[in-house]
Amino acid sequence: MLTMTGNKHFQPKHSVAKQLLFVLLGAALLLLIPALAMQLTSEVNWGLGDFAAGAIVLVGTGSAYVLLTWKLSSTGSRVVIGALLGLTCLLIWAEMAVGIFH
C-alpha cells in the first residue's frame, strides 16, 4: 500500500508496471487502426518505420504520463500533465506527418 504525505487515503489502483502494460496495449490498439486501414484502402500506406515511429511516440508519451503522475493524488495536476503531454504528442505526430515546423 502506497500512501502520500498529507493524504492517507491515496492508493493507486494499479502498480506502475501494470499501468505501463496498459500503455503498451493501448499503443498497440491505436496502431491497429492504420494497419486495418491499409487493408481497406490504398490511401493509407505505412511502412515498418512508420509503425515503429508511431509506437515510440505513443509508448513514450504514455510512459512519461505514468511515470510523472504515479505519486500524484491531485486530479488537477494529472490533467495538466496529461494535457501538456497530449499536446506534445500531437505536435510531434503532426511534424512527422506533414512537417508543420518547416
**What is the predicted pLDDT for the residue at 44?**
92
SS3 5: coil
What is the overall mean pLDDT for the chain? 89
| pTM (two decimals) | 0.81
Indicate whether 3 belongs to any domain: no
Residue 69: give the domain boundaries: 16-98
The residue ranking higher by pLDDT, 102 or 58, is 58
Indicate whether 5 belongs to any domain: no
pLDDT tens digits, one per residue of 10-52: 556 679 999 999 999 999 999 999 999 999 999 999 999 999 9
Indicate whether 25 belongs to any domain: yes
Indicate whether 8 belongs to any domain: no
**What is the predicted pLDDT for the residue at 71?**
87
84-97 in b/e burial notation, b at 16+ Cβ within 10 A? ebeeebeeeeeeee
Q: How many domains does the chain have?
A: 1
Contact, 46 vs 38, CB < 8 A? yes
Compute the distance between CA of residue 94 and CA of residue 39 in angstroms, rounded to an integer: 23
Indicate whether 66 belongs to any domain: yes
Tallying the residues shown for the chain, one arrives at 102
Indicate whether 31 belongs to any domain: yes
Indicate whether 9 belongs to any domain: no
Indicate whether 11 belongs to any domain: no
Record the cell numbers describing residue 33, joined without a space. Answer: 487502426
